[in-house]
Chain A
């Protein structure tokens, strides 16, 4: 008897439960490993003797994979492998910073609108509607144009730029600008979830216990919406990477001669008829990353759902 009581009393946190459930999902675990592997490859790989991604070798241009260029060389003779790895740094960071920004803004905005309701909700959501109507590409362009001069004076960014190969202050600005326009859908999703949840008993219980509003929102309501937030987040990451590619092509994103996965795929798609490997390898890295993020997101949604019965 005693042992059973001990067992029951031993609490287990939401996070720990989730991790246990996630571990049982094979696909999600494989995806997690693959994703970590790719991320390590991009961030640590360049320290292990890959070529400089911007040095041209005009005598060895457009070569299919061989022993000098493991994944081939492009039209100016630059090594595709190192361009993919360095480009991956940009793409992964833009994917995560921009998504994080959109997540923070979207979730808090949506949660507050949904929880408070009434006139506040109406006003807040009409603002979202107005922002929706604006062509968001234009907003990103305006934001980058507006702040790029003032950002150039920030000293930390300047020193960052000198240390790093790929980061320019413009790029950091771009991450935030994309995040600033990507939060709208997130806000709508979270708001609708909160509206259905706030009528439920556990919220009434929390209110009658006299908990503060922020605590109710962030401690009780948002964890219940995690499922849809995570699914949408995994969709936002690739969308953000794609947007970065488009902006790079317009000259607002990563500046040549640096690369990102998006810009490599764009270059490769243009030349796929004569040099198919220029498209195949960057696309492979991009799609494997996105697939693993999606599977991982799926797994996380199941794992994090507080309503899933404990077994």
Chain B
């Protein structure tokens, strides 16, 4: 074929045009800032948009835009409360009966008024045994809530929640709880729209429409919420899009035109998406890039305090893990300082206890420390000198690179310090991992807990006998009793002391190995306004704004 130079001219011209177009094209985040569309990376694909079915942090990030509880999150301080559906609330003297007074203009996204009866319906729904809600234990604060959820009580009128009239809701609690308004901010305490749930829950099998789990009500167009935003679209594995809810009582406050939540499970892909100008905010951050951003792009990197703990838990039903000396030896052989400095890299604090210290509120006892000599001695006492004779143990974690790096490091530390060579590493996809934990089919597993409210009991309550998040088979009547006593303590100081006592028991028996206390390491676009550092990372979206700078 003859090839003349002239035939190339149009091709070169086209290529140049292409370059000009792409060079001038504004990035996606800039386009989104101009249109006030917030683009958020949000971990995994949401399991549901139903407040009674979710339990992960990513899912509750979406629900926080779609629903609003009695009390809601404060934009700058998570230990403060902002009025939500209730404009004010009060309690009796010993904090066991709380009364919430509703505002006149609280409305559902379809225009119906939000009433105390909607809340009673919602609490009945989440506590119903048929609902199998993964997080129903949050409602155990209510009197008889636990009994109703476990099916030992079938009469819901005995559960401590009552609509006194069209404006007033009364909650009677199991035990005195001074921080109850903090608790009702949580996803599990959101209301649902009864008429919608009933309409889509209808079935020919004679089942209660209320407890039908994954019905079509969660689809865009059907979904009814009472939050600052309403559901616009939900495309599986692509995005969840929400837009302002014109019926929201504080709609004037809302500045954004849209929020898009993107499920990006890999921290590496998410960081690349951010660097490429695809999202304003990342859900996670790969540790290897933290230093890079520190040096090259510090104004995008955010390391905020975060009320959470990363730990390993033991299944005490599987020998030899029922041996407390072995558990302690494994715990003392881990150099936490080295892990946070070299593996997680985000300025995390090595954890010497379960509950993180909370400024002005709680200081956990210092018990778990790095002491390899003691660990070796305990190992010998447990009957495994130099790790000899220890059967193979599997260490389970969900598929994520950082979890694997931590597991590999600890595996090697156990090998170096204790001579333990047969620890297997097992990773499972998030949902499989969750059910493996729940069915207690593991031996040692990675776990983490982010506080639901600013109080040490959000961590300590997990290890009560029979708590659905205990999942270790550990049980101590003494511990349970101390937690009960703490609630009845006359003063705040006395309460803290009792809680510390309880935590000491937990840390002496060690059904868990605390590893580190979280920091929130994320990338946040400088154009995002009013995205303040928050201890629980529950940002109320109605204040957030995007301003180019």
Q: Which residues of A contact B (CB under 8 A)?
A: 54-56, 58-59, 61-62, 75-77, 249-251, 255-257, 267, 270-271, 273-275
Contacts and interface: CB of A to CB of B under 8 A. Distances in A.
B292 A58 contact: no
B287 A75 contact: yes
Contacts of A251: 399, 426-429
B407 A61 contact: no
Contacts of A275: 288
B230 to A, nearest CB: 37
A147 to B, nearest CB: 17
Interface residues of B, number: 30
B493 interface: no
Contacts of B412: 54-56, 76, 257
Contacts of A77: 342
A270 B404 CA distance: 14
A257 B427 CA distance: 12
B408 A270 contact: no
Nearest to B411: A257
Interface string B373-400: 0000000000000000000000000010
Contact of A76 (B266, B341, B408): B408
B428 A256 contact: no
Given A76-B405, A270-B401, A271-B288, 19 more contacts: A54-B408, A56-B409, A58-B341, A61-B342, A76-B343, A76-B408, A76-B412, A250-B399, A250-B429, A251-B428, A251-B429, A255-B424, A255-B425, A256-B404, A256-B427, A257-B408, A257-B412, A273-B272, A273-B292
A257 B289 contact: no
A236 B331 CA distance: 46
A62 B343 contact: no
B288 A274 contact: yes
A274 B292 contact: yes
Interface of B: 266, 268, 272, 275, 286-289, 291-292, 338, 341-343, 399, 401, 404-405, 407-409, 411-412, 416, 424-429
A54 B291 CA distance: 25
B289 A273 contact: yes
B291 A274 contact: yes
Given A56-B412, A257-B411, A274 B404 contact: no
A58 B343 contact: yes
Contacts of A273: 272, 275, 289, 292
The 6 closest A-B pairs by CB, nearest first: A58-B342, A270-B268, A251-B427, A56-B412, A257-B408, A274-B288
Nearest to A252: B427
Given A58-B338, A58-B342, A251-B428, A256 B407 contact: yes
B435 to A, nearest CB: 15
Contacts of B341: 58
Contacts of B399: 249-251
Contacts of B343: 58, 75-76
Contact of A75 (B272, B288, B426, B429): B288
Contacts of A270: 266, 268, 286, 401
A54 B422 CA distance: 13
B408 A56 contact: yes
Given A257-B408, A257-B411, A62 B288 contact: yes
A62 B289 CA distance: 12
Given A56-B412, A75-B405, A274-B288, A256 B342 contact: no
B288 A76 contact: no
Contacts of A76: 342-343, 405, 408-409, 412
A44 to B, nearest CB: 24
Contacts of B342: 58-59, 61, 76-77
Nearest to A62: B288
A77 B428 CA distance: 25
A54 B412 CA distance: 7
Contacts of A250: 399, 429
